[in-house]
Structures are given as C-alpha cells and as structure tokens.
Structure 1
C-alpha cells in the first residue's frame, strides 16, 4: 500500500494549485464587485470568470474531469485525460473557491452532462451539444427531481415522455434544476417515464431538451437558505406539451437508470473532493480567527475547547480525504459498480464532515459568522445541500447497510 503521490498526480495538482494562487484567489474581490454591480439583475455572465476561463484554456487546464477514453486522442476537446484519482486531487483545490470549477470548465452539472453525451450520445448529439459544452461556450442542466414525489426514489418520477410519431412529447414539473438561471444554459437532460407499465427500473428514459423549446416555463428560481446562487441558480420548470425530435432520446427507451448510474458515480466523487476543499477553507478561517481574538484574558486558540475542535477538524479532513481517494482509485481500477460501497460512504461522510467544520468556524466568528462578512453562511448553505444532492444520506446509508447485511446472510 503506497500513500505517496505519483509524479503525474503531483504535476496536475501543482498546476491547478499554482493557477488558483496566481489567478483565482486574486479575482475573488473582482468577482464580488462585479456581482454587486449587477444589482437586482444578477442572472448575468460574470466577466472575470470568462476572462479566467480563457487563461485556463490557454494553459491546458481545461476539461480535466473527462476520463481518457471518453474522446478520441485527436479530439481538440479531449482535455488532460485524468483518472478519477488524479482529478480528485485537482477538484479539492477547485473546491476552495465557489466559482473556481467553472474557470477550468469542470463545474456541475456540465461535467456530468458532458460525460453522458460522451458515453451515450449520438454523433449528432456530440456535435450539437457536447462540443460547445467542452469549449465552455454554453452551459447545461440536468432535470430529474420533482416537487410532487419523493425523488430520493427515482422510480417515483412522474414526468411523461410520450412517443408521438417522430417526436417525444414531454409533460411534467421539475425543480432544483441547477444551472437553468444562467443565460448561457441552452440544453437540459430530462429524466421521465416513457413506459409506466414497464418493469420498475425500465420505465424511465432521458432525453435532450433545448431550453428554448416552446412549452417550457421557468416558474421561479429557488433560494437556498436565502441565497439565490446567481447566476447559476436552481429553477422550478414546467413542461407543457414540449415536443422534441425522437432522435433526442439518449441510448433508448427504458435506459434512464442505466444512464443515471453512469453519470452520478464520478459526480459524487467530484462533489466530495470539492467539499474537502471547502472544509480546508473553513478550518483556515477558524484558526486565523481564534488566533486573532482574545476572551477571558487569553487568545481563543488557547482555550482547550477550541484546541479540541481544531484537532478534530484536522483529523476528520484527513480521514475523509483518504476515504475519498480510495473510492476514486477503486473506480479507476474496478469500476463504479464494484466501488459502490466506497462511493456511498464518501458521499455521506464528506458533506457531514465539512458542515461540522463550517459550523464550528461560524461559532468561532460569533455573530460575524452568521453574517455575509465571513463567507461562512454561504458556505454552510451550499454544503447543506450536498447531504441531499445526488441522493440524500438516507439512500446512501441504505446501500451501505444492505452491503453490510449481505456479508452475514446465510
């Protein structure tokens, strides 16, 4: 068992870290000022992000998430072809700043959608939608969750995708459609039922839906603890007799779950590594605050209560990182299906760990922690969603428990 990083892992992590130091961190106040200047019209492209994207692309730090076999070697959009393990180390660095992943064209849900198109899309799909996504010219959305059913069990999803001659007609209501608020969001992958009478896991399909198709209504943008997440955002979307060509169906009728499983495994690892990056930022803020404030005659950092919290935070980050890297390594070596236990465990552990550290950091800041000044309230709101996104804790814990029960069944 070797815990040392390979030269290749050090190379890519180092390049991303250096880029963050040179370009991304200095851009944070610029980003904040530009968002503030938008006023109430916050659903706009942020200029500094576009500028940074051009620099990252020119330096070859682009589409790092794509597995090496996703595109032909001569494709101009192939990216670095990193493994899950190699990319996980880069994703942690990106997770330290909210907009950093987009700078490298590595932000959700585009990453998952590009992987879906690479694996399951036709050549026409790739030309029309994957190429502009890989170039960073457009954004995308993935629409699965619905307000009227418990979407943690995706078999409950009721949106209808009905065949009508050379078209499919879509009717239904989706929400938490992340990315729809971005004016560059041009295409959505929509999951719904093509055959409600088929076996349980063969009822669902996935279809490509351009967002300018007649019959689509963006009802509202949903805030997260009061934060609108502009310009990305999370929308409630209604489909009323939305017609798309039958050729827009991905892979075939009844194969929606197959596509979803191929999409969500890598995405969960990406989220988890970004969560570790976020936890590192919160711990740094907490330590600096503790060393700068005095209460009851001594620095906060000298109080034993805070020594215990800081120590626990460091321990939890290191344990969580190791579990996440193990999961990524297994995905590379034995595939997502065999690694499902490790993927489930890290999806539960990483957000819980990060949330606790962010919460402790808020406590260290006192009243300032719950304001927007420290940036911790926004961090907490964003991280809290990770215990629900890509499957709630309860679903992953169920998987873990069932696999554990299976060891001892006669």
Structure 2
C-alpha cells in the first residue's frame, strides 16, 4: 500500500489544501508533520469555504482520522479558535477524529511577542524576514534549546512550574536585553492552565497510532505546509520558515520510518508566487504580475498579505524535484493563464555573466541571479473547470507537457479551479 507525502515545490501557496482534501477521500489518515499556524489552506467543498491553518485538511471529511505530528509547533489558543470556527460551520472535531503528538512543542504568548519584537527591530534596520509574527521561529528555537513546553507537560501540573521557570529564565533575559518587561511565572502558568482541559483529551502517542495504521495496511496522507524554497536548510535562507518543509521531514515529524513513505506529490503552481521578503528571480512587478495576482486571487490564507507574482520558474521546481524525490506533481491554477497571448518560462539563470541551472545557496548570489526566459504561445480558450485532457486547449496541453520536460517529473493531477472536482487525474498517488 502506497502512503503519500504532499509538499509544496515552490514558496508555498501552491494550492495544497484542495489537493490534500481531494486525496483525503482515498486516505484513512491525514497527518500534519511540520510548521505551525503560520501557513494556511483554503478548501472549497460544495460551495463552502474552509480556511485551515493548524488542523490537517482531513478534518472536514467524515470518517477520516487526523493527526498533528511532533514536527509541528502547536499554538493551543489558535487550535481552540480554529475548532470554534469549524463548529460554526457544522464541523465538530473531537478526540475521536483528531490526536496531537504528546511530544509536540507548544507556541506560547512569549513566542508571539518575541517574534513581533524582532520583526519590528528588523524593519528599522532593513533586515526584516517577513514572518507572520505568530511565534513559529521562537518556538522552534526553544525546542532545539531543550527548554520547550510540550503537549505532554499539560498532563502534569506538578512538574510544569519548574519547566516554566526554565523557559522564562531564557526569555526574560532576552526581554531585559531588548528593553521589555519580564513575564511573570504566574502569567504563563495561567495561560497554560486555561487551555489544558481542552487540549489534554487530544494528546496521544502519534507514532504508535501511525504504526498501528501502517500494520493494518491503511492509506496515510502526510500534509506539509509552506514550500520547498522556504525550507530552513534548502530554501532561500535567511528568508525562510523555521522548519524543514521537504518530504524527508514527513518521517521525522510524525514518527514513522522513511521506508513507509511511498509517493511524493509536489504541488506546483502554473506560475510562481511568494509572500514576504527575499529573492524572486521571475517576479513581475508590472501589469503581468498584477494580472496574475488579481486573476489568481493571490492573498495569504492566514495573513491576507498580497503575494508577489511572476512567471513559472522551472529551475526552482527542478531543484525541488531533486531535493524531495518528487514522484509526480499536481499542477494548479492553470486557468489563471487563460487568455494570455504569450507565456514566459524561466529555463535557466545568469549569474555574473555565467549561465547556471540551479539556485545558488548564497544570499548574495540569489539576489544577483537573472532569469533566462523561453516564450511560448498562450491560449484563448478557457481551461477553468476542465476535468479531462480533451477539455483543455491544445496549447495549454503543450504548456503542461513542456513543464514536465523542464522539471523532470510527470503531472499526476491537474487542477483547473478551486473546486475539488475540477481536477484531471493522470496517476492516482494512492495506487495499489
């Protein structure tokens, strides 16, 4: 039985939510394995829109079990708020449908505040990263620093005070140095106690649950957040997120052996976008960029920030295919390109006068690369809502096939609108 990992192959915002939801009908279990509530998915089901940021996309599907793995940093207050928003739309998510890994590190108010303090300071110095100010980075820092409060700690209020003291020893020293008031021990304890009763019933050994499902031959879907170019190791550092967003993290971030991960599906937008600061070789700060942004409704699910838009960058996606071991891609938002007379594709870079076929790791070099474009003919007929290859204009099919050649990976699914059924299936990642 093949288990599937879904990851973004660009800078995130590729449309993973719809694809994960589409695949979840074929899955028994859906797992979030990294990131936090700093990235979101928008699902449109029967005309109803669901915006998720922390919960796995499978929670809106009856009969599916969802898991939040240890690779996630977990904001308990954001979790409660998201449960309430879903309940208002008639979706109740109890412990019978969702479990949280006991060894998941928590995001607390001190993390959110520190994130904002740093971003404000960076804005003044011109070194802003463009974080969502939701405490993701500081929470991962505490995890690596071995001082994090983890979900399991909410079960034992007797040992929690000492762990809070250890955490605040670090944070209060930082706050004093930055000119901010210290956080009182009682304040943080009250914060944790206020959510413990709600969170504790969801806490479990996710690794054990996954192993049981695997042994029974269940289909497991691993859902990543953000995209490959935001990976802390392989992305456009330092303008990246604080976790590993690549396919290898699915095993580490959930507690399952890498041999249990079968198909890697890379979600790939038919053009390129990114949110926040950092290099973007194919960015179009012009009428084309505005056209793509307006037609594609390019605004962040979580923050509402306007996304930067540009032409498809085959160099970046080809690199993502190699790093993730991508088996096939799900190409999304092809319909946004409808009506263009011509479309450009980045097929290489020029760096200091030399042609290269990769994105260099150096921040300075990334800022200097220039895109080398190939121009292809556009199409006038619409692709929106197409559900078979025969529904697509011939030139749109040529565009898709050319992308496959350039990135070295086949198209497994093709999405032609936000509606889940507007999907052309070429290869079912959950093949037996």
Q: Shorter-chain TM-score category?
A: under 0.3
The TM-score normalised by the length of structure 2 is 0.23
TM-score by length of 1: 0.24
